[in-house]
A and B are shown apart, each in its own frame.
Chain A
Amino acid sequence: MKNILSLTVSGLAAAVAFGTVDVPRASAAEQLTIVSWGGAYQESQRKAYYEPYMKEKGVKIVEEEYDGELGKVKAMKEAGNVTWDVLDVDMAHALAGCDEGLLEKLDYSKIAPMDKFLPGTAVECAVGSIAYSTIFAYDANVYKENPPTTLMDFFDTTKYPGKRALLKKPFGNLEWALVADGVAGDEVYEVLSTPEGVDRAFKKLDSIKKDLVWWEAGAQAPELLANGEVVMTSAWNGRIGNAIKEGKNFVIVWDYQEFDWDLWSIPAGTKNLDQAYDFIKFASDPKNMSQQSKYIAYAPTHVDAIALVDPAIAPTLPTYPDNMKTAITTDWTFWADNNEELTKRFNAWLAQ
């Protein structure tokens, strides 16, 4: 038994060691680690920013992926070895990261004038790069006649049988559940702020629970749809847009799209602060920023970049007036206040 014990103990010890000890990085300044959300989105950034930047500045960009795990920044900060230099965050993470001191306060004189960005997209610790939205999409091969057109259809498993996928977080889903239950789009957060409202949202989700599958990384949503695991899924619109470009017969339903921003931020404690600023400045340049929409259907946040976007792709962007008709604007304060409790409740609900 001593053998087993020492085997297990040393195995565990090794796991701990390999898990925490980081390989020393070659050297600072000539390389920049940029962390984003993977898949089609990161590919669009690669083409629009990383490759041109590397070519122009001779700086090597190392890419990493995450799914919003800001805890990793905190762990790196506590260990005194922050290896991420630029971080792509959504608004919820931009605000939370700023509150908890995980993101640098931005000096806009090193990027671009704040008033050049769409209202609300230039915040204390992050500067907007694109507008994206959470929509739902279906496989047109499944619904040839009488396809789903409204959010209610997503929650209607009698009329539209089959599995559907949602993001494995309460965020966004509770809002949709309330809308599908008859709450007006602009009253969603008012209702959700009451215990009865939360119960109501979970009850609505409960009605389709047995048909639900959950995704965690952005790339999973189009994958689940493509391999027939589900017939409908919530997704970030650009991911579905790119799958369509690749020949998939998917259709986006914009009804009650949940509008959000992606922003550039700098993890507090990075060793390449100047280089990080330089990159964000490059990516915020209207000419460069307008390039990204070519590769993914997201809209720029710099007002001068908006004019440079090809009008032909405008209808695929979340900002297109027709797509915005019923859009829900997320209440960040609500989520900052209630995320932890609602997530716990969501997890308890999932496990029931």
Chain B
Amino acid sequence: MAVAETMPSLMIDGVPLKARLARAERSRKLKAVGLVLPLFAFVVLTFLYPLFVLAHKSIINEETLGRLDRTNEALANWDGVSLPDEAAFAALAADLKQAQEKREAGEIAKRINSEFSGAMSRFKGIARKVHAMESGPYKEVFLEADKIWSDVALWRVIKSVSNHYTPYYWLAAVDLKQGPEGLERMPPDQAVFIDVYGRTFWIAGLVTFFTLILGFPVAYLLATQPARRANILMIFVMLPFWTSLLVRTTAWFVLLRTEGPLNDLAELIVNNRFDMIFTRFGTLVAMTHIQLPFTLLPIYSVMKTIPPSHVRAARSLGAGPFHAFWKVYFPQTVPGIAAGCLLTFILCLGYYITPALVGGPRDQMVSYYVAYYMNNIINFGQASALGIMLLIITMVLYWAYNRLVGIDKMKLG
């Protein structure tokens, strides 16, 4: 009997029950994975992979990669204080010769120019010059061509960009740079980005606040009206929601203009015209309008699930109208508020077109600078660093929000 007890229980076909169960379980798991896999693959392919590429771009010296290897080697043991010797000049000359032949000197020059303004023309000039030379010595030729070549700071930049990786873009994204003695602040006239990040979060926060103040009463109205009336009112909320963002932004552009209808009205009433377009005010108004449904709808759908009997019960037990609302009704709406506000806040962080059209130069957010570095300056590294930085700060804020509010309390309906 003792033997039989340790034997696994067998089914009629002789297969242990445990194995059959495991098999059944496995096929269910496979099905589940199979159903999730397409979305997972989609997210990996279209979201995580591009993110990875961007992150990589923000730390790599793409323009000089493999093109300044000789220089890198020659400068390996350089002290960083005195002017490099002939060997380093010769190595740079050899690298530039090769680059000139392959038509890559411009890209190298541009990369170095990002960190050392004025290097562009000197690099292109010297690349042409050394390309025509058979052999050295090169140091004299460089020094004769331009005094920039005796600047040790330029050589530090050359050494740094000849490495595989660079901290430059990340440091620049927080207004820092590498100096001869460790990290330094960017000079004030070059320090833009901390201000831009601050502004981005401030605007997103304000818009979230305004949508909540405006949206909450409307959501309450919608949730408490009889269905027929609520449906009609709902259309007023949904119609703008279904309209393209660009159309709504353009509409605000027209409305807010100095010669626009709002100012015509102001002229009639108070005999004055106000600056509304290209201002922070205009940006906030337009963004609040666009984001309102995003905050309102989660609150509304949570309110719909709150039985009216709760408040009635509170009233019948002696609570005043405000007390009943505040102590019984409002706490139940918090999950909707949390969800709506988070949605609006995160969407606001990425706003580009609305501030660009309606805002002034002080209202441009991080996305504007990402686009600017991408399109106009053609500095993909800086654009990537700015974008990834925004993502990281957002994730940190999300984590803090989670600790504060608790994500599991949140509801979309």
Contacts and interface: CB of A to CB of B under 8 A. Distances in A.
Interface of A: 1, 3-4, 7-10, 12-14, 16-17, 20, 68-72, 74-75, 96, 98-102, 163, 168, 213-214, 227-229, 333, 336-345, 347-351
Contact of B362 (A69, A102, A351): A351
Given A8-B346, A227-B259, A341-B190, 5 more contacts: A14-B46, A70-B376, A71-B380, A100-B106, A336-B113
Contact of A98 (B106, B364, B380): B106
B106 A9 contact: no
A260 B170 CA distance: 36
Interface in B361-384: 361-362, 364, 369, 372-380
Interface string B37-54: 001001100110010000
Given A17-B46, A340-B114, A340-B117, A1 B376 contact: no
Contact of B343 (A4, A70, A336, A338): A4
Given A229-B277, A351-B192, A16 B50 contact: yes
A185 B231 CA distance: 67
A69 B259 contact: no
A1 B412 CA distance: 7
Contacts of A75: 374, 380
Nearest to A68: B376
Interface string B117-137: 111110010000000000000
B377 A338 contact: no
Contacts of A9: 43, 47
Contacts of A68: 376
Contact of B377 (A20, A102, A337, A340): A340
Contact of B410 (A1, A70, A102, A229): A1
B191 interface: yes
Nearest to A20: B50
A70 B346 contact: no
B328 interface: no
A71 B343 contact: no
Most buried by B among A68, A96, A340, A343: A340
B5 to A, nearest CB: 45
A351 B277 contact: no
Given A1-B410, A101-B106, A341-B190, A351 B196 contact: yes
A99 B110 contact: yes
25 contacts: A1-B339, A4-B339, A10-B43, A13-B42, A16-B46, A20-B50, A69-B376, A71-B375, A71-B377, A71-B378, A74-B378, A75-B374, A99-B107, A99-B110, A100-B110, A228-B259, A229-B277, A337-B113, A337-B117, A337-B121, A338-B117, A340-B114, A340-B117, A344-B192, A348-B190
A189 to B, nearest CB: 12
A336 B121 contact: yes
A350 B343 contact: no
Contacts of B196: 351
B117 to A, nearest CB: 4
Given A4-B339, A72-B375, A227-B257, A213 B412 contact: no
A345 B189 contact: yes
Nearest to A13: B47
B24 to A, nearest CB: 27
B69 interface: no
Contact of A70 (B105, B117, B258, B378): B378
Most buried by A among B42, B113, B277, B362: B113
Nearest to A214: B361
B187 to A, nearest CB: 9
Nearest to A345: B189
Nearest to B43: A13
A220 B135 CA distance: 54
- Across the A-B interface, the 9 shortest Cβ-Cβ residue pairs: A99-B106, A69-B375, A350-B361, A341-B117, A71-B375, A228-B259, A1-B407, A13-B47, A1-B410
A1 to B, nearest CB: 4
Nearest to A350: B361
B195 interface: yes
B324 interface: no
A102 B118 CA distance: 21
Nearest to A230: B258
A12 B408 CA distance: 22
Most buried by B among A1, A75, A98: A1
A52 B380 CA distance: 39
Nearest to A352: B362
B103 interface: yes
